[in-house]
C-alpha cells in the first residue's frame, strides 16, 4: 500500500514536522493584577493557583501532553466566563477551555502557560420537557449524570462514549466524538437544538433554541460543534433526547474472512434496518488480547492459533419484542452462510460479557504494554489493506490489533509495544504515512478523537489548502487575536515542532 | 397574546419595513462581451436569453416574486460553473443560483437583473455504495428521481417533501427544508456526508466525503446547508441513505380538545419510539376544508358543525411486522382515554386516503381562494394560543386553518381570503406581529421555508443582533463583493422596502 514511498522517504517527510521547536506566541504573561481582577469577580474555590493542584489540569489523561499553566479558573456562571474572557481578550492572555479533560489528542490542556478555563462548575440542569424531549443544561454536566436523570423519564441522550463517567457535555459538543451507538443515533449535531456560547472577546452569543426545525439562515451553532473550543466556549445546550429502547438482543458472529465480515455488515444493515443499535468489528488479535489479558471474560469461542478469525458483534434494539425480527435476520444469515459460528445472548449477563470483549480491547492493549491508538474513517472495504500494512510495517516492534464501529466506517488500530524506546520509531513509521494513505483513499485521519494539538500540523491530510484557508479566515472572524485555544486544530503559523518534546512522557494509558 | 401591543403600533412598525423602495446595488450591468464569453465556454442550449423563455425562471412558483434577468445559464459541469462565477466575480455581476425553483420565500429568483445560474443540467449520478449506503450525485438531480433509483436497492433518501417531483437535491441542501418524515429521519444535515461547492469567486471547494464520522476540525460544509445559496453554489453531494421500511400502519385519531392532542403526541412518541414514522396534526377547519373542497376523499369521520374537533395522524413503520407494537400502543391509548374516535387503516388505499386529508390542506385552501401560508416552529403547548389569536385578528377577512408536523413542533397556518384587496391588510395584521410573538416565545419565524427575500428584513425576529453581525462577517469571508444571491437572507444594508412593490402579483398558489 505504501509501496510507492520507501520508509526512508516517509521518515524524511516526518522529520520535517519534528525539526523545529514550537515557539510560544506573543501573548501577554499573567500578572498579579490579573489574579486580583479574577479574585474580584470569582469565589476563592473558583480559582486554583497551587502548582500541585494544577498538575492534573496541565496534563491530559493519557499523559501525552503537559502544559505549564499557573492558573485555572472554574466559574459557576456564563456571566463570569464572559467577564473572564473580556479581560483576557483585552489583556491578550491566551486561554484553553477544559471540560472533563478526557480527550486523546491534547486539545484541552495548555501547551505553554495558557489560562485554563474549566467548565466543571457549570452544573445547572434547567430541566427536561417531555413534550419536545428537550433537555436544557449547562456545559459542565457529566454525560452519565444527565443520562441517569433522563433514564427515570424513559429517555436518553443520543450519545454514548466510553468516557461518559467523566466527560462533560460541553466538551462532547466541542469535540463531537461519535461513540458506539452512532449508527443508532446519527451525529450528535443532529440532536443539538441550541447553544449558548461565550466568544473570545467575552460576548455572549445566544443561539439557544428548543425547536427542532429552524431555517432562518445559516445555522451558526454548527461552527462550535467539533471546532474543539477554538472559536468559542460552549456554556449551555438544548439537547433533543430520545426514547430508550425496551428490548435488546446481542449476538457475536465469527467468520474466517474479512470478505464475510463485509457481507455480514451489509446483510445486517439491510435486514435489521432501524432496529440495528450497534454493529462492531474486531479481529482475532483483539479477541486474543482480551481473552488473555482481561480477567472475568468468558470466551464464547475457543481462541484460535493463527489469528485467522474475524468477529462481528451485533446489537438489536427496539420499542417492541424482537423475536420476529430475529427470526427474519437469522434466516437471512443462515441462508447466506456467512458466519461459521454464532453466539446469541439469552440474558443480560451474557450480553455484558460479549460487550466486555469489545469494550476492553484498549484496556487489554494497556495490560500488554504501551500503545499508540488511532481512529480512522475509511471505506470499510479498505480496512484490512490498512491493517495488514500497519502490521507488516511494525513487525518485530509492535503488536497490532484492529477493531471499530464497522456500521459507520470508524476503524481503531492499536499498536502495542513493550520497549518505550520504540515509540518514536513506531510514530515515524505510521505518521504521516497512514494519514497520507487515508487522504488518498478519501478517509479521515480522525473519525472521532479530533485534531487537537496532536494532528494540527497534519490537517493538510484532512482538508485541501483552500478549505484550511477559509477555516483560518473564520477563526479570525471569531478570534482576531487568536487567544482561544491556540496551537490547536489549525496548522500553526509558526514552524511546527515535535509535540513530544514539550514535556511528554511515554504513552501508557487506558483509552 | 398580542395585547401588550395594539394593532396600530404593529402597523406602524410594519410600515417602517415597507416605507422605502429597495434599490439595486451597484453591480455591473450585463454586456454583450459577457454573453460572448459565456458562449465561448457553454453550449447554445446552456444559455437562455429569450425573454419569454426566461419568464418562468424570473418568477417564483407561487408567483409572488418576479425579477428581471435577461440571462439564464444552465451549465452541465462544475468546471463550467466555476468559470462562470470567476467571470461574474471579476466583472462584479450579481448571480442568483436556482434549482427546481420550488421555494416559497423568493430565495431563488432574481430581484433585479441578476444572472440566473441554474443547476438543472447537473444531472450526473455517480452511484450508490451498498457498503456504506452513500449516494453520490450532482446538484441538479430531482429528489423523486433519486428515490425511484434507490427504491430498487431497498433504500431511500432521508428527506421527503411535497415538492419532490420537481425540487433538486442541491436546492434541498441549500434550503434544508424538513418535510413530513423529519421525525423519522432527523435533520437532513445529519445525513449529508460531503459536498462540492463553487464559491462566489469561482474557486471549487472540495468538501466531498463518504465517511460518516470525520472530526477533523470544524465542519465547513455545514455553512452551505440552509444558507440558501448566499455563500456558495452546491454542485455535488454525498448522501447517507437509509433502508426503506417494510411495514407501515396509518391511523387517524379525533379528539375534542387540543390538550388531548398534546397528550396523544406525548404518549405516542413515548410508546412507539423509533417506529414512529410521522405524527401530524390538523384542526377541524383544515378537515372541513379538505372534505368540502377536495374531490375523491372518503371522510373517515362526519364533519362537525362547530369546528370543535382536533386530529392526529400517526404513521408507524418498521423492519418487522408491527402487530405487537400496535397492540401495546392501542392499549396505552385506550387506557389513557385520549381519543374520542380512531380510524385504523387496513390497506394501502385507506392509508392513502388518510394521508390525502393531511397533504391536500394547502390545495383545499387554494380551491377556496387565495391564501397566505406560514411555517412556524414553536413549543407545541403554545400552538393554539397563536392559532386562536390569528383567527381572532383576521375574523371577517380570512379563514384560518392550522396543521403541521406536531412531532417536531412545525406549525403551518394558512389564512384564506377571497378578496385580493385584503392581502395587504392581512399581511399588515400578521407581519411582523406573529414574528414578534414567536421571537418572544423562542420559536422560529421559519421552520422550513427559509428566509429568502420575503423575511430578510425580519431576521431580527429570528436572531440577536450580535449573531446577525457574525453572519454578515461570514458572508464577507466567502463573498466579499456580495455578488451571490444578493438581497436574500441577511437584512439589506440599504433601506429595506416592500417586496410586494417589485412586480408582485396576488398570492394564489398551491403550496
Are residues A225 and B205, on separate chains, in Cβ contact within 8 Å?
no
**Residue B258 sits in the same domain as residue B345:** yes
Percent of chain A with pLDDT over 90: 84
CA distance A172 to A161: 9
Domain membership flag for residue A172 = no
**Residue B113 sits in the same domain as residue B23:** yes
CA distance B20 to B495: 6
Domain membership flag for residue B410 = yes
CA distance B34 to B67: 20
DSSP code of A323?
Answer: H
Cell representation of residue B112: 433585479
pLDDT at residue A274, as a whole number: 86
Residue-wise pLDDT tens digits, B267-284: 998 899 889 999 999 999
Band of the pLDDT at B419, cuts 50, 70, 90? very high
Pairing of strands A399-405, A341-344: unpaired
The rounded radius of gyration (Å) of the Cα atoms in chain A is 23
pLDDT at residue B179, as a whole number: 85
pLDDT at residue A10, as a whole number: 38
- Chain B contact present for A378, CB below 8 A: yes
- Choose one of A449, A476, A497: the last residue of a domain: A449
Chain A residues with beta carbon closer than 8 angstroms to that of B265? 131
Peptide bond into A432 cis (omega under 30): yes
**Residue A278 sits in the same domain as residue A323:** yes
**Residue B276 sits in the same domain as residue B373:** no
Compare CB distances from A273 to B219, B319, B451 and report the shortest one's residue. B319
Q: What is the mean pLDDT of residues B402-414?
A: 96
CA distance A216 to A348: 46
Domain membership flag for residue B220 = no
Alpha helices in A6-96 (DSSP H): 7-17, 32-41, 51-58, 78-91
Q: Report how far apart, in Å, the C-alpha atoms of A102 and of each of A60, A189, B24 are.
A: 7, 20, 53
Residues 6+ apart with CB under 8 A from B56: B101
- SS3 at position A372: strand
Pairing of strands A204-207, B155-156: unpaired
Q: What is the mean pLDDT of residues A434-460?
A: 96
Domain membership flag for residue A508 = no
pLDDT at residue B131, as a whole number: 80
pLDDT at residue B204, as a whole number: 98
Q: Which residue of A has its CA nearest to B264?
A: A131
Q: What is the domain range of residue A61?
A: 12-118
pLDDT at residue B392, as a whole number: 96
Residue-wise pLDDT tens digits, A203-220: 999 999 999 999 999 999
**What are the beta bridge partners of residue A374?**
A413
Q: What is the mean pLDDT of residues B317-334?
A: 91
**Residue A315 sits in the same domain as residue A379:** no
**Residue B378 sits in the same domain as residue B321:** no
Q: What is the mean pLDDT of residues B479-496?
A: 82
- Chain B contact present for A177, CB below 8 A: yes
Compare CB distances from B466 to A205, A320, A451 and report the shortest one's residue. A205
- Chain A contact present for B463, CB below 8 A: yes
A485 dihedral zone (left: phi>0; alpha: psi -120 to 50; beta): left
Chain A residues with beta carbon closer than 8 angstroms to that of B176? 215
What H or E segment, with its residue span, contains residue B269? Answer: helix B258-272
With beta carbons less than 8 A apart as the criterion, state whether B90 and B33 touch. no
CATH number, position B58: 3.30.43.10
The rounded radius of gyration (Å) of the Cα atoms in chain B is 23
Q: Could you tell me how many helices (H) and strands (E) chain A has, helices first?
A: 16, 18
pLDDT at residue A148, as a whole number: 97
CA distance A268 to B43: 47
**Residue A318 sits in the same domain as residue A373:** no
Q: What is the mean pLDDT of residues A288-308?
A: 94
What H or E segment, with its residue span, contains residue A25? Answer: none
With beta carbons less than 8 A apart as the criterion, state whether A414 and A400 touch. yes
Closest CA to A76 of A236, A237, A239, A238: A236
Q: Which residues numbered 214-243 in B keep a CB inside 8 Å of some CB on A? A: 214-220, 222-223, 225-228, 230-231, 242-243
pLDDT at residue A312, as a whole number: 98
- SS3 at position B33: helix
Instruction: Answer yes or no: is pLDDT of B234 > 50.
Output: yes
Question: In angstroms, how far apart are the furthest CA atoms of chain A?
Answer: 75
Compare CB distances from A186 to B186, B262, B408 and report the shortest one's residue. B186
CA distance A191 to A155: 13
**Residue B25 sits in the same domain as residue B106:** yes
- Chain B contact present for A152, CB below 8 A: no
CATH number, position A353: 3.30.70.2190
Residue-wise pLDDT tens digits, A308-364: 999 999 999 988 888 889 999 999 999 999 988 999 999 999 999 999 999 999 999
- Choose one of B428, B449, B470: the last residue of a domain: B449
Band of the pLDDT at A22, cuts 50, 70, 90? confident
Are residues B410 and A325, on separate chains, in Cβ contact within 8 Å?
no
**CA angle, B132 as apex, B127 and B135 as ends, to 5°?**
30
Are residues A212 and B462, on separate chains, in Cβ contact within 8 Å?
no
Q: What is the mean pLDDT of residues B177-197?
A: 95
Q: Which residue of A has its CA nearest to B470?
A: A477
Instruction: Answer yes or no: is pLDDT of A1 > 70.
Output: no
Chain B residues with beta carbon closer than 8 angstroms to that of A447? 211, 213-215
CA distance B451 to A480: 29
Within 13 Å of residue A300, how many CA atoms lie on the same side as its CB?
25
Complex ipTM: 0.91
Residue-wise pLDDT tens digits, A81-115: 999 999 999 999 999 999 999 999 999 999 999 99
Q: What is the mean pLDDT of residues A373-378?
A: 96
Higher pLDDT, residue A507 or B299:
B299
**Residue A109 sits in the same domain as residue A18:** yes
Peptide bond into A330 cis (omega under 30): no
Higher pLDDT, residue B35 or A320:
B35
Instruction: Answer yes or no: is pLDDT of A17 > 80.
Output: no
Residue-wise pLDDT tens digits, A122-162: 999 999 998 889 999 999 999 999 999 999 999 999 999 98
- Chain B contact present for A469, CB below 8 A: no
Are residues B175 and A215, on separate chains, in Cβ contact within 8 Å?
yes
CA distance A407 to A383: 13
With beta carbons less than 8 A apart as the criterion, state whether B474 and A476 touch. no
Compare CB distances from B216 to A190, A225, A446 and report the shortest one's residue. A446
Pairing of strands A47-48, A192-198: unpaired
Per the prediction, chain A carries an average pLDDT of 91
**Residue B257 sits in the same domain as residue B343:** yes
Lowest average pLDDT, out of A6-20, A258-272, B226-240, goes to A6-20
**Residue B285 sits in the same domain as residue B376:** no
- Beta carbon pairs, A and B, within 8 Å: 297
- Chain B contact present for A277, CB below 8 A: no
CA distance B191 to B206: 18
pLDDT at residue B214, as a whole number: 97
Chain B residues with beta carbon closer than 8 angstroms to that of A462? 214, 216-217
Domain membership flag for residue B206 = no
Closest CA to A192 of B468, B451, B380, B190: B190
DSSP code of B381?
Answer: G
CA distance A85 to B419: 57
Domain membership flag for residue B432 = yes
Domain membership flag for residue A25 = yes
CA distance A454 to A22: 13
**Min CA distance, B52 vs chain A (Å)?**
32
Instruction: Answer yes or no: is pLDDT of A508 > 80.
Output: no
Domains in chain B: how many in total? Answer: 3
Q: Which residue of A has its CA nearest to B451?
A: A216
Sign of CA dihedral B312, B318, B323, B329: negative
Q: Where are the beta strands (DSSP E) in A220-369?
A: 233-240, 242-243, 247-255, 276-283, 310-318, 341-344
Q: In what order do the strands lie in the sheet with A370-377?
A: A341-344, A247-255, A310-318, A276-283, A399-405, A410-417, A370-377
CA distance A174 to B396: 52
pLDDT at residue B22, as a whole number: 85
Residue B50: φ, ψ to 5°: -70, 120
CA distance B393 to B214: 50
Band of the pLDDT at B477, cuts 50, 70, 90? very high
CATH number, position A7: 3.30.70.2740
Band of the pLDDT at B11, cuts 50, 70, 90? very low
Per the prediction, chain B carries an average pLDDT of 91
With beta carbons less than 8 A apart as the criterion, state whether B456 and B490 touch. yes
DSSP code of A61?
Answer: T
**Residue B321 sits in the same domain as residue B404:** no
CA distance A402 to A361: 9
Compare CB distances from B325 to A215, A228, A320 and report the shortest one's residue. A320
- Chain A contact present for B192, CB below 8 A: no
Domain membership flag for residue B335 = yes
Higher pLDDT, residue B255 or B18:
B255
- Choose one of B85, B118, B151: the last residue of a domain: B118
pLDDT at residue A217, as a whole number: 94
pTM for the whole structure: 0.91
pLDDT at residue B280, as a whole number: 97
CA distance B363 to B373: 12
Higher pLDDT, residue B4 or B421:
B421
Instruction: Answer yes or no: is pLDDT of B404 > 90.
Output: yes
CA distance A248 to B428: 55
pLDDT at residue A340, as a whole number: 84
**DSSP state letters, B396-444:** TT-EEEEEEEGGGTEEEEEEEES-TTHHHHHHHHHTTHHHHHHHHTT-B
3-state per-residue secondary structure call for A172-226:
HHHHCCCECCHHHHCCHHHHEEEEEEECCCCCEEEECCCCCCCCCCCCHHHHHCC
Alpha helices in B294-421 (DSSP H): 323-336, 348-359, 361-368, 383-393
Compare CB distances from B473 to A227, A228, A477 and report the shortest one's residue. A477
Rounded to 10 deg, the angle between the A78-91 and A32-41 helix axes is 160
Instruction: Answer yes or no: is pLDDT of B21 > 80.
Output: no
Amino acid at each position: 500500500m505504501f509501496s510507492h514511498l520507501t520508509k526512508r522517504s516517509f521518515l524524511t517527510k516526518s522529520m520535517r514536522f519534528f525539526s523545529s521547536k514550537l515557539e510560544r506566541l506573543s501573548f501577554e504573561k499573567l500578572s498579579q493584577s490579573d489574579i486580583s481582577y479574577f479574585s474580584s469577580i470569582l469565589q476563592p474555590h473558583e480559582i486554583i493557583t497551587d502548582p500541585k493542584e494544577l498538575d492534573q489540569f496541565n496534563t491530559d489523561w493519557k499523559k501525552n501532553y503537559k502544559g505549564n499553566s499557573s492558573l485555572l479558573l472554574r466559574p459557576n456562571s456564563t456571566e463570569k466566563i464572559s467577564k473572564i474572557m473580556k479581560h483576557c481578550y483585552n489583556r491578550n492572555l491566551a486561554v484553553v477551555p477544559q471540560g472533563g479533560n478526557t480527550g486523546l489528542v491534547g486539545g484541552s490542556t495548555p501547551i505553554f502557560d495558557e489560562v485554563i478555563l474549566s467548565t466543571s462548575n457549570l452544573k445547572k440542569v434547567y430541566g427536561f420537557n417531555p413534550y419536545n424531549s428537550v433537555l436544557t443544561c449547562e456545559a459542565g454536566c457529566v454525560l452519565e449524570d444527565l443520562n441517569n436523570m433522563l433514564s427515570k423519564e424513559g429517555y436518553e441522550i443520543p450519545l454514548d462514549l466510553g468516557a461518559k463517567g467523566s466527560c462533560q457535555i460541553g466538551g462532547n459538543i466541542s469535540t463531537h466524538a461519535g461513540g458506539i451507538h452512532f449508527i443508532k443515533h446519527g451525529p450528535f449535531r443532529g440532536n443539538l437544538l441550541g447553544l449558548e456560547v461565550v466568544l473570545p472577546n467575552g460576548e455572549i452569543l445566544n443561539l439557544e433554541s428548543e425547536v427542532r426545525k429552524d431555517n432562518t439562515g445559516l445555522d451558526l451553532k454548527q461552527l462550535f460543534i467539533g471546532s474543539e473550543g477554538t472559536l468559542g466556549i460552549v456554556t449551555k445546550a438544548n439537547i433533543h433526547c430520545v426514547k430508550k429502547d425496551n428490548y435488546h438482543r446481542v449476538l457475536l458472529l465469527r467468520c474466517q474472512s474479512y470478505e464475510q465480515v463485509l457481507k455480514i455488515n451489509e446483510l445486517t444493515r439491510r435486514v435489521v434496518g432501524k432496529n440495528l443499535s450497534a454493529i462492531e468489528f474486531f479481529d482475532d488479535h483483539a479477541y486474543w488480547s482480551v481473552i488473555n489479558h482481561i480477567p472475568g471474560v468468558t470466551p464464547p469461542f475457543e481462541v484460535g492459533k493463527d489469528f485467522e478469525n474475524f468477529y462481528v458483534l451485533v446489537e438489536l434494539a427496539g420499542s417492541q419484542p424482537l423475536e420476529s425480527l430475529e427470526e427474519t435476520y437469522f434466516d437471512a444469515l443462515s441462508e447466506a452462510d456467512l458466519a461459521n459460528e454464532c453466539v446469541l445472548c439469552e440474558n443480560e449477563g451474557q450480553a455484558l460479557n460479549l460487550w466486555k470483549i469489545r469494550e476492553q480491547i484498549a484496556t487489554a492493549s494497556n495490560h500488554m504494554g504501551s500503545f499508540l491508538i488511532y481512529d480512522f474513517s475509511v471505506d470499510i472495504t479498505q480496512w484490512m489493506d490498512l491493517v495488514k500494512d500497519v502490521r507488516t510495517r511494525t513487525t518485530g516492534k509492535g503488536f497490532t490489533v484492529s477493531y471499530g464501529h464497522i456500521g459507520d466506517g470508524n476503524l481503531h488500530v492499536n499498536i502495542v509495544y513493550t520497549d518505550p524506546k520504540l515509540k518514536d520509531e513506531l510514530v515515524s513509521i505510521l505518521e504521516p504515512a497512514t494519514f497520507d494513505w487515508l487522504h488518498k483513499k478519501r478517509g479521515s485521519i480522525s473519525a472521532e478523537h479530533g485534531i487537537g494539538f496532536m494532528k494540527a500540523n497534519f490537517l493538510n491530510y484532512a482538508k485541501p489548502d483552500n478549505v484550511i484557508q477559509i477555516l483560518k479566515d473564520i477563526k479570525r472572524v471569531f478570534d482576531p487575536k487568536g487567544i482561544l485555544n491556540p496551537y490547536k486544530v489549525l496548522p500553526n503559523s509558526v514552524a511546527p515542532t515535535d509535540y513530544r518534546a514539550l514535556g511528554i512522557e511515554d504513552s501508557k494509558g487506558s483509552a
